[in-house]
Amino acid sequence: MAVQPGGGVLRWFLSGRWQAGVSIAVLFSAAGLIPFLAGPLLLNCVALVALVTLQAGRRESLEVLVIAGIASALFTLNPWYGVAFALVAWLPGRLLGEGLQWDVGGAGWSGWSSACLS
C-alpha cells in the first residue's frame, strides 16, 4: 500500500493490508456488539474501506475484504458477520471509493453533465 508522509494513525492504517483489515474488522465487530454505537462505527468502516480503495487500489481493497470478513467472523464467532461485512461495510465503501476515483481521475460528474447538456 502507498503511504502518504505524515498522518500518524492513518499512516499506520495504510501501511499494510493486515493493519487495515483487522482494524476495520474490530470496528465492524464492535458495531455488532454495541448497538448504541453501531451507526458511527459502521460509518467509520465504510469511510476506511473507501480510503483503502482510494489510496491503495482495487486489489488491496479485495484483500482487505477477505481479511476483515474472516476476522470479523472469528471475533464474533458468527460466520454470518463476514457476509454482513461484505454487504454492509465493504460494498458501500468500495463503491464510494470507486466513485471518488472516477470523479478525480476522469471527467467525472462535471464532464458527464456538461456533455449531456451540450
Residue boundaries of the structural domains of the chain:
37-102
Q: How many beta carbons lie within 10 A of that of residue 117, not counting itself? A: 6
Q: Could you tell me the CA-to-CA distances from 27 to 5, 15, 91, 93, 105 in Å, in that order?
A: 25, 18, 16, 14, 30
pLDDT tens readout for residues 22-48: 999 999 999 988 999 999 999 999 999
Is residue 70 pLDDT above 90, yes or no?
yes
Q: How many beta carbons lie within 10 A of that of residue 102, not counting itself? A: 13
Residue among 89, 100, 105 nearest 31 (CA): 89
d(CA 65, CA 97): 14
pLDDT band at 91 (very low <50, low <70, confident <90, very high): very high
